Amino acid sequence: MVPSTKSSSRSSHLLRPGGLGIFIFVFESKSNPRIVRHEEDPRVWEEIRVRIRTRDDHTCRYCGFRALKWQVVHHIDGNHKNNDPGNLETICPMCNAVLHAGRGCTILKIVDLFKKSRYLQSDVIRKTRTLRASGRTDEEIIETLRLKEQVSFKQNRNYLRHLTAFVSCRLPAHEDFMTRALEYGYEEARRQLGIRS
């Protein structure tokens, strides 16, 4: 379960009678409790996540950012049921937003796509994080990175493959874990750079 940024979320686990599955009570707010069914015990997934992040030294496989919190365990093949360690990798929230550009562009509205860039995607992520931690605006970062010709999102891998994604500092259209995860990443970058906020 992903924590909500608007209200404190909590869950309790109940085994289904006969051991046929697990039900989770999710309390997003006092007025909105709901029950969801999970095929697997989420505690098992948490153990897997801890093991993978430890194996990867809490370091993003794409941009090299290391942080002890908010790193994401990503399914390389996109199959969330394939929890083979060889299919799992640690990535930072910024790289996660880029890998899931459809969500970042159309739902959260924090990812912008550009046809031209002076840098590789991993360098864009690294430099964006550093420049943002240093107090630079999106416009200044885009200019520094020489990102040109902004385009809209299309659900087409061949189209997306040739673009560079930029994670903006705009607040997401829908608050979720990403808001807190990105802010933690910027704070951690400031700490690593010796910048006081």
Q: What digits encode the pLDDT tens for the residues 89-102?
A: 999 999 999 999 99
- Over residues 112-132, mean pLDDT: 96
> Is pTM beyond 0.85 here?
no
Q: What's the pLDDT at 13?
A: 39
Cβ–Cβ < 8 Å for 177, 183: no
Which helix (DSSP H) or strand (DSSP E) does residue 11 occupy? strand 10-15
- Tens digits of residue pLDDT in 166-185: 999 998 888 778 888 999 99
What is the spatial distance between Cα 157 and Cα 162, in angstroms, rounded to a whole number? 9
∠ CA 120-123-127 to the nearest 5 degrees? 140
DSSP3 helix / strand / coil % (the chain, rounded to 5): 40, 20, 40
